[in-house]
Structure 1
Amino acid sequence: MGPTASGKSRIALEIAGQFPVEIVSVDSAQVYRHMNIGTAKPGRDILARTPHHLIDLIDPVEQYSAAQFRRDVLNVMQDITGRGKIPLLAGGTMLYFQALLDGLSVLPEADNRLRATIESKAVISGWPALHKKLAALDIESAARIKPTDSQRIQRALEVCMLTGRPMSEILKAPRNAELPFRLVKLALLPADRGQLHQRIAQRFENMLQEGLIDEVSLLRQQFDLNPELPSMRCVGYRQTWLYLEKKINLEALRDKGIVATRQLAKRQLTWLRSIMRRYEVTALDCLADDVHHQVRVFLHAANIGDGAAQ
């Protein structure tokens, strides 16, 4: 686990070269097909050499939930261990890690017809007005959701309407988090936030050089997209959308993309530290020159490869 630009993918590939593992992506952006550059998805040569799972699952017009991830990742882990290999989960979507570790409350599946109705009302009244409606139905959820957060307002209203109960009440119910695996948890954390920011800036510049703008432009031609879809709300894609709409220039795209990625890393670190307070997690400095050696020592000490698949 770790924030963006902490070197998770590189470390995972090195582990795959030394241990009998298959990599499982824990990344809410890499689930989208055709979104390769902005999600830092592994290239074809890497995928051909090292098996990866839970990438390229859906088109950018579709949605993917933490509940779907938990179901899919458990199935994939069972399949990998059934073949005598070890699942190596690597990524920065802390919501997905938390879903795996803590389990999930029993919430209803998405109802596309009801969602369309809610969106139609939002077009007429605006999301802040629907946020007020949510506050009347579920004051706790409304208190933690911003009046402009359309995705979460929509989901909270949907749950209220489908169940007749506040989503906050359902979330308090006991969860079934029992797992048939021994989990060995490793976090890559930066000792110097400034150095991480430098990495983030260079990484976003590389994405622009590799063709992020052309990638988003092609996606807009291929699919019926809008800026409120979860895929287009991903960091980098949201800012490139604004550029293609001629609302910002190239310099602003670069600046806003870097700032948004820094904010993402900050949220990831906050969430990760919350996980670390509740679970036994080994933390290593992702900026250390010998971090690769430290990872190898850690894995050997944890007896990875010696009965760990069971």
Structure 2
Amino acid sequence: MHKYPSAIFLMGPTASGKTDLAIRLATQENCEIISVDSALIYKGMDIGTAKPTLAERKLAPHALVDILDPLQAYSVGNFREDALALMASICARGKTPLLVGGTMLYYKSLIDGLSPLPQACADTRAQIESEAAQLGWQVMHDKLAQIDPVAALRIHVNDPQRLSRALEVYRISGKSMTDLTQIKSEPIPFNVRQFAIAPQEKTTLHQRIEQRFINMLETGFEDEVRKLKARKDLHLDLPAMRCVGYRQMWQYLEGEIDHDEMQFRGIVATRQLAKRQMTWLRGWKTELTWLESEDPCNFDKIMKSST
């Protein structure tokens, strides 16, 4: 690996302090930031995603921020392609790519590569949903068990989205999802130093999440979602609108829940996201250095790793 250029991964759950540390690295060292966050890609979604401010991005530009309209989709494959191109460009300028964010699947796509799964097909998906409406999802699950028993064990009958996708993959490619996921693309040609930052105590992270959500509400999150909702072409089934906080605020604006319930659900959803992120990180299979959110020596620890 010594022959490859260096790159830094700075991972961690939401509200763990990644942005502040990344900006310091970008401004004081020879780094350029690439965002690894499936919510920050969307324009007009600034407050609810805790997007770095314009002042912060002027100080330390973030690639892959504000690149899509919320109506558009962005796959893991899109991210991998974009990130690799950016990393190569940054290295060509003699700088170090600094990848920062909490979308763990994006990081995994870089480390492990991607399986050659087919693109989603609306016609095939519609056919599967029509069959399910007639026969029931239990029958569809039985069909999956015949063609991909491993996936059928993993996917619950009450999970129609994943069940439909597994059937779709087989109908498009003629191969099971289990077989295709065993095929991986080449690992990235970089010597990656991987760090994860998080508070030592779970209660501390929960407090930070709650306070940040309250701050979002105080700085105009409701108005931000009102503007998105007023467009009429956006709806809750879009990936952008499934971002934590946005669904709960949307439901409040629809009159489905009151303000206190919206705040409660938004905080709970964010904590659940952080829990999933921590689960990913605790099971990380490659070498990972942990940093404590409140440790003032985090910057020095990262810099020391490069010597």
TM-score, scaled relative to structure 2:
0.88
Q: 1:251 aligns with which of 234, 257, 260?
A: 260
Tell me the number of residue pairs that the alignment of Structure 1 and Structure 2 aligns: 297
**Map of 1:82 onto structure 2:** 92
Alpha-carbon offset, residue 150 of structure 1: 5.0
SS in structure 2 of the partner of residue 184 of structure 1 = strand
Contact 1:100 1:177 survives alignment (8 Å): no
Give 1:4's aligned amino acid: T
Q: 1:280 aligns with which of 274, 284, 287?
A: 287
Alpha-carbon offset, residue 111 of structure 1: 2.5
Contact 2:292 2:298 survives alignment (8 Å): no
- Asked if 1:195 corresponds to 2:204, the answer is yes
Contact 2:27 2:59 survives alignment (8 Å): no
Give 1:109's aligned amino acid: Q
Alpha-carbon offset, residue 87 of structure 1: 0.8
Q: How many percent of aligned residue pairs carry the same amino acid?
A: 48
Q: How does 1:181-220 map to 2 (within 5 A)?
A: 181-220=190-229
For structure 2, the 5+ residue unaligned runs are 1-10
Contact 1:61 1:223 survives alignment (8 Å): no
Label 1:261 to 1:122 Cα distance change in 2 as closer, same or farther (>3 A): farther
SS in structure 2 of the partner of residue 24 of structure 1 = strand
Label 1:193 to 1:128 Cα distance change in 2 as closer, same or farther (>3 A): farther
- Asked if 1:33 corresponds to 2:28, the answer is no
Offset from partner CA, 1:17-72 (integer Å, 9 cap, x none): 21011110000111122211111111222222222111222222222111111111
SS in structure 2 of the partner of residue 222 of structure 1 = coil
- Return the alpha-carbon distance in structure 1 between the equivalents of residues 68 and 177 of structure 2: 26
- Asked if 1:169 corresponds to 2:179, the answer is yes
Label 1:76 to 1:261 Cα distance change in 2 as closer, same or farther (>3 A): same
Contact 1:21 1:87 survives alignment (8 Å): yes
Contact 1:33 1:56 survives alignment (8 Å): yes
Label 1:122 to 1:261 Cα distance change in 2 as closer, same or farther (>3 A): farther
Offset from partner CA, 1:135-159 (integer Å, 9 cap, x none): 5543433433455545434432321
Give 1:284's aligned amino acid: L
SS in structure 1 of the partner of residue 251 of structure 2 = helix
- Return the alpha-carbon distance in structure 2 between the equivalents of residues 239 and 29 of structure 1: 15
Q: How does 1:1-150 map to 2 (within 5 A)?
A: 1-118=11-128, 134-135=144-145, 137-147=147-157, 149-150=159-160
After the TM superposition, which of the residue ranges 48-57 and 188-197 deviates more from structure 2? 48-57
Alpha-carbon offset, residue 302 of structure 1: 1.4
Label 1:262 to 1:106 Cα distance change in 2 as closer, same or farther (>3 A): same
- Asked if 1:299 corresponds to 2:306, the answer is no
Contact 2:76 2:106 survives alignment (8 Å): yes
Root-mean-square deviation over aligned CA pairs: 2.3
For structure 1, the 5+ residue unaligned runs are 304-310
- Asked if 1:270 corresponds to 2:279, the answer is yes
SS in structure 2 of the partner of residue 183 of structure 1 = strand
- Asked if 1:240 corresponds to 2:244, the answer is no
Contact 1:33 1:58 survives alignment (8 Å): yes
Contact 1:61 1:229 survives alignment (8 Å): yes
**Map of 1:306 onto structure 2:** none
Alpha-carbon offset, residue 219 of structure 1: 1.1
Contact 1:6 1:287 survives alignment (8 Å): no
- Return the alpha-carbon distance in structure 2 between the equivalents of residues 130 and 246 of structure 1: 36
Q: How does 1:215-226 map to 2 (within 5 A)?
A: 215-226=224-235
Label 1:298 to 1:44 Cα distance change in 2 as closer, same or farther (>3 A): closer
- Return the alpha-carbon distance in structure 2 between the equivalents of residues 126 and 251 of structure 1: 38
- Return the alpha-carbon distance in structure 1 between the equivalents of residues 250 and 129 of structure 2: 21
After the TM superposition, which of the residue ranges 37-46 and 249-258 deviates more from structure 2? 37-46
Alpha-carbon offset, residue 127 of structure 1: 6.8
Alpha-carbon offset, residue 213 of structure 1: 1.9
**Map of 1:230 onto structure 2:** 239
